[in-house]
Amino acid sequence: MSTVCLSRSTFVQAAMAGALMCTLAWSVARLSLAQGDAESIVRFPEDVVYEGLPGAPQHVTLIGDPSKPGLYVDRIKFAAGTKVMPHWHPDPARTVLVMSGTFYFAVGETWDESKLKAYPAGTLYSEPPGTPHYAWAKDGDVVLQVTAIGPTGNTPVQRR
């Protein structure tokens, strides 16, 4: 039997990831129990209709209601060049999957292009509650899928 030593920060990150996954799994189980004998939810690509103002990110809710407590799944489409200024979300658990494109993402209260990291399609990341962040669809169109526990919101960070 081998022993694995983890640094404190690695251990904390692993514990937080495990707690996030447990929260999401419990929420899915609660949603399934609440639906009772309801049929599964299926959304085909041709049935997904995004909404939003021109020049702003386009949005669609696939499962649940982001304004209420419980699991929800959203997709957000960003046109090439769209910048998302620093903001935060209150969701107790929130994961984001980059479905297409490359999304440039950073954590912080002020826009700093040097801190942006490229997240290519297939990247999954989490956003801890209340953590300010910002992003850019720098190279082309981007589609994200957000799986989270509501209620959600989007609070802009006040410029100093």
Domains in the chain: ranges and CATH: 45-156 (2.60.120.10)
CA angle 127, 79, 83 (to 5 degrees): 55
Q: Over range 132-142, report the average pLDDT.
A: 98
55 versus 156: the higher-pLDDT residue is: 156
Output the pTM of the full model.
Answer: 0.77
Residue 23 to residue 17: CA distance in whole angstroms:
10
Q: What is the pLDDT of residue 86?
A: 98
Q: What is the pLDDT of residue 37?
A: 59
130 versus 18: the higher-pLDDT residue is: 130
How do residues 97-120 score in pLDDT, each as one tens digit?
A: 999 999 999 999 999 999 999 999
Q: How many residues does the chain have?
A: 160
For 73: left if phi > 0, alpha if psi spans -120 to 50, otherwise beta; the answer is beta
